[in-house]
Amino acid sequence: MVYAWSHQRKKLQVVRWCDKVNTVVIDTHAHLQWNKFDGDRSEVVKRAVDAGVTKILTLATDLQSSYRVVELAEEFAEVFAAVGIHPTDAKNAQSIDLQRIAELAQHPKVVAIGETGMDLYWEQESRAIQEYYFQQQMLLAIEKDLPVVVHNRDAGEATLAAIFALKNKKLRGVFHCFAEDETYAEKVVQLGFYISFTGNITYKKSPLPKVSSSVPLDRLLLETDSPFMAPIPQRGQRNEPVFIKHIAEKHAEIRGLSYDEIARQTSENAQQLFRFPQ
Ligand SMILES: [Zn+2]
């Protein structure tokens, strides 16, 4: 039996997918360095691993957290790291940070640059700075032969334009927490990028199931974005990688496929993109 701590109910509750331990899934987007995990980080990783989440990619948002995610990747066999500067942190970054991030990217468990991208929802004034750091991190990803993990919030056109400018340079990556429409998804796929949806795909009245069904299955990844965006039935609680099962179940339901098919294909996709060392 697998249990998870319910912050809402203040007790351990049974996680119902314990029969799916043999089907492995990969959480391609979490922030395990967040202080919300300080009290029980080892248990969070163990709960996920016990439930078949064999790999958890944990992403930095600035230089300091880039050091931290590498430490976590060294501490836990199943944890891998992405180093980079989040668009909402770009205004606090310095050019030297990019140099340090480039050094950290040499680490064998660093499998991506990110998260990077553009955010004009929280940050409109820093647009030019965001664009600069996004471009620099994409160039770094190309140089290191690593994928970029792209955050786009209310910056659809600017994000695509920045990627399009480098499209002949063997850039690969994923649009995480996808919240655009089908037309946009098609453009992303045409650029050779992958797409992942967080727990928001499980929310009632969400238009995302329809968008998701338009994405070719070989371009789909699974992610939680822990500790944010917990899926139903954990919505409103702290999210953690073990809850990825609800997102996989939703994709299976949307596409009329089995849970195993979704798990297998998305794990294969994640391996293709991130090239996790075996
Ligand atoms: Zn994130």
H helices, E strands: number in the chain:
9, 10
- At 93 the pLDDT is 96
Mind listing the domains of the chain with CATH numbers?
A: 19-274 (3.20.20.140)
* Mean pLDDT, residues 26-36: 97
- At 219 the pLDDT is 98
Q: 269 near 220, Cβ under 8 Å?
A: yes
For ligand 1, the distance from its centroid to the CA atom of residue 148, given in whole angstroms, is: 12
For ligand 1, the distance from its centroid to the CA atom of residue 29, given in whole angstroms, is: 6
Question: What digits encode the pLDDT tens for the residues 122-140?
Answer: 888 899 999 999 999 999 9
CA distances from 262 to 49, 85, 183, 256, 268 (A): 18, 31, 23, 10, 10
Q: What are the residues whose beta carbon lies below 5 Å from ligand 1 (ion)?
A: 225
Amino acid in the structure at residue 272? Q
Question: What digits encode the pLDDT tens for the residues 152-189?
Answer: 999 999 999 999 999 778 899 999 999 999 999 999 99
Tokens of 119: 């955010």
For ligand 1, the distance from its centroid to the CA atom of residue 207, given in whole angstroms, is: 21
Q: 191 near 163, Cβ under 8 Å?
A: yes
Question: What digits encode the pLDDT tens for the residues 65-97?
Answer: 999 999 999 999 999 999 999 999 999 999 899
Largest CA distance in the chain: 52
- At 7 the pLDDT is 54
CA 20 to chain centre: 22
22, with CB counted inside 10 A (0-12, 13-18, 19+), is: exposed
CA distances from 145 to 52, 110, 207 (A): 28, 11, 34
Amino acid in the structure at residue 28? T
- At 167 the pLDDT is 79
260 CB contacts (<8 Å, ≥6 apart)? 23
Rounded Cα distance between 175 and 269, Å, is: 14
Rounded Cα distance between 12 and 27, Å, is: 22
Question: What digits encode the pLDDT tens for the residues 238-266?
Answer: 999 999 999 999 999 999 999 999 999 99
For ligand 1, the distance from its centroid to the CA atom of residue 93, given in whole angstroms, is: 18
For ligand 1, the distance from its centroid to the CA atom of residue 229, given in whole angstroms, is: 10
For ligand 1, the distance from its centroid to the CA atom of residue 185, given in whole angstroms, is: 19
Residue 11: pLDDT above 90?
Answer: no
Q: Which residue carries 């995480």 as its tokens?
A: 176
- At 2 the pLDDT is 47
For ligand 1, the distance from its centroid to the CA atom of residue 60, given in whole angstroms, is: 8
Task: Assign 6 a pLDDT band (cuts: 50, 70, 90).
Answer: low
Amino acid in the structure at residue 175? F
For ligand 1, the distance from its centroid to the CA atom of residue 121, given in whole angstroms, is: 15
Amino acid in the structure at residue 12? L
Question: What digits encode the pLDDT tens for the residues 185-210?
Answer: 999 999 999 999 999 999 999 999 99
For ligand 1, the distance from its centroid to the CA atom of residue 131, given in whole angstroms, is: 18
Please provide the average confidence, as pLDDT, over all residues in the chain.
Answer: 92
For ligand 1, the distance from its centroid to the CA atom of residue 59, given in whole angstroms, is: 7
For ligand 1, the distance from its centroid to the CA atom of residue 62, given in whole angstroms, is: 12
